[in-house]
Amino acid sequence: MRVLGIESSCDETSASVVEDGRIIHSLVIAGQSEVHARYHGVVPEAASRAHVEQIFPVVRQALEEAGAGPGGHGASPVDGVAVTNRPGLSGSLAVGLTFAKSWAWAGGLPFIPVDHMAAHAYAVQLADTDTGAAPPVQYPYIVVLVSGGHTIIAVSRSFRTLEVLGTTIDDACGEAYDKVSAFLGTGYPGGPAIDRLARHGDPRACTFPRPRLNRNDNRYDFSYSGLKTAVVHQMDRFWNEGYPRTRENIAAAFQKAAIDIVVDRVRNAVADTGIPRVAAGGGVAANSYLRESLASLPGVTVHLPSPVLCMDNAAMVAGLGYHFLAAGETGDLETGVTARIETFRRRGRPHPENRRLQSGE
């Protein structure tokens, strides 16, 4: 079965045709960084407007590249349309959802609403974009989801169940990258710029504080506001004598602190659950130091999507949507968008029962 996926939850408009949840026949991603760069972050109304302009050409190109023709009924027709309907920016989500519903309805096709974070957790199941290899990753696996809006560690038990172990108690990891990049004047999005700079710096130049998160009840939580404040406002306190104050050194020291937090949480999850498979998703999962650090964890098999599949993309949406379609779980014309998901709203500690995200709900 071939599914058309559509993703528009934040600042990427993307469409993709994926077969049987794994084989990517086309993937088109239209970014908007030039729209948001001067604000150092995503401006919701500008994002919605850009989605409105991009959605038609992006979907058309994805269908044509997959041989499906503009209506999805070409030589290789599609069997359904999956779309991100939560969480994300409401206006941006509404553009993709409205398009997907109308297009599916017009073609008499089923449509499947998909959770964006569950899709990031699924991305590792897609065929590699370079080699085409598609060995399925066995469930359950530990997955760390690190993006501009979320920082989550979870156990993926099946395509429909993500059991959230911990989340950030303040800022998201990618958000810290973007703030530090704005401070260093290296542009938006900040992650790739800092990643590049850090390769030429020495992380020993500053010893930034690490959040103290290892007490029993928060072995899986993350915190980035202290690190961000240390870099932007308190650099002198943490600078080590003898190292030049270069952007490269700042980037390297920040990156080491930011990523070591993530790897530390993964280590805890592996030790506590005994699950020897680790995956990652979200824009920060494209980070070179994170990828190296996870790959060198002892005793676990690490599965990382290719960088393009870490970022927001519609292939992960089509891939996950396929499984719901195959199970007969589809949406209807009343399906709406949800900006936030209760499980991810971390004010205080949610009851453990609330930590299970049923991605089909």
Residues binding Zn ion (CB under 5 A): 147, 312
Contacts by 41-46, CB closer than 8 A, 24 or more apart = 41/178, 41/188, 42/10, 42/11, 42/89, 42/148, 44/89, 44/90, 44/91, 44/92, 45/91
- Cβ at position 124, least distance to Zn ion in Å: 14
Nearest to residue 258, comparing CAs of 150, 177, 194, 151? 177
Q: How far is the CB of 12 from ligand KG4 (least distance, A)?
A: 6
Beta bridge partners of 28: 15
Q: Under the criterion CB under 6 A, does residue 27 sit at the interface with ligand KG4?
A: no
- Nearest-CA neighbor of 210 among 179, 256, 177, 144? 256
Q: What is the DSSP code (8-state) at residue 140? A: S
Write out the binding residues for ligand KG4, residues 263-282 only, by CB under 6 A. 282
Q: How far is the CB of 116 from ligand KG4 (least distance, A)?
A: 7
Instruction: Please pick, from the candidates 19, 208, 312, 321, the single residue that binds ligand KG4 as defined by CB under 6 A.
Output: 312
Determine if 81 is a binding residue for ligand KG4 (CB under 6 A). Answer: no
Least CB distance from residue 241 to ligand KG4, whole Å?
A: 29
Q: How many Å separate Cα 212 from the centre of its chain?
A: 25
Nearest to 78 by CA among 335, 300, 331, 318: 318
Cα separation, 224 vs 273, in Å, equals 25
Rule CB under 6 A: say whether 118 interacts with ligand KG4.
Answer: no
CA distance to 124, 251, 326, per residue, from 235 (Å): 37, 12, 53
**DSSP states of 152-163 as a string?**
EEEEEEETTEEE
Among ligand KG4, Zn ion, none, the one that 311 touches (CB under a kind-dependent 5 to 8 A) is ligand KG4
Q: Which is nearer to ligand KG4, 192 or 203 (CB)?
A: 192
Asked if 190 is part of the footprint of ligand KG4 (rule: CB under 6 A), the reply reads: yes
Q: Considering the rule CB under 6 A, would residue 96 count as an interface residue with ligand KG4? A: no
Is there binding between residue 121 and ligand KG4 (CB under 6 A)?
no
Q: Which is nearer to ligand KG4, 167 or 287 (CB)?
A: 287
The alpha-carbon radius of gyration of the chain (Å, integer) is 20
Does position 324 bind ligand KG4 by CB under 6 A? Answer: no
Q: What per-residue string of b and e applies to 201-223 under the rule 16 or more CB within 10 Å gives b?
A: bbbebbebeebebeeeebbbbbb
Asked if 227 touches ligand KG4 (CB under 6 A), the answer is no
Among 47, 78, 266, 284, binds ligand KG4 (CB under 6 A): 284
Tokens 């948001």 label which residue?
36
Query: Please, which residue, 45 or 332, has the CB nearer to ligand KG4?
Result: 45
Q: Determine, following the binding rule CB under 6 A, whether residue 203 of this chain makes contact with ligand KG4.
A: no
Query: Is residue 149 near ligand KG4 by the rule CB under 6 A?
Result: yes
Shortest CB 74 distance to ligand KG4, Å: 30
Helix, strand, or coil here: 176?
helix
* Separation CA 56–CA 279 (nearest Å): 33
| Interface residue with ligand KG4, options 15, 114, 257, 311 (CB under 6 A) | 311
The CA-to-CA distance between both ends of the chain, in Å, stands at 23
If you write DSSP's letter for every residue of 179-234 in order, what string do you get?
Answer: HHHHHHT--SSHHHHHHHHHTTS-GGGB-PPPP---SGGGTT-B--HHHHHHHHH-
122 interacts with ligand KG4 by CB under 6 A: no
| By CB under 6 A, residue 30 contacts ligand KG4 | no
Nearer to ligand KG4, 74 or 307 (CB): 307
177 contributes a contact to ligand KG4 by CB under 6 A: yes
Q: Does 147 bind ligand KG4 (CB under 6 A)?
A: yes
The region of 43-51, 124-132, 147-155, 160-168 touching ligand KG4 under the rule CB under 6 A is 147-155
Binding footprint of ligand KG4, residue count (CB under 6 A) = 19
User: Is residue 75 a contact partner of residue 106, using CB atoms and an 8 Å limit?
Assistant: no
**What's the closest the beta carbon of residue 185 comes to Zn ion, in angstroms?**
25
Instruction: State the CB neighbour count (10 A cutoff) for residue 256.
Output: 21
- Binding residues for ligand KG4 (CB under 6 A): 10, 147-149, 174, 177-178, 189-192, 195, 282-284, 286-287, 311-312
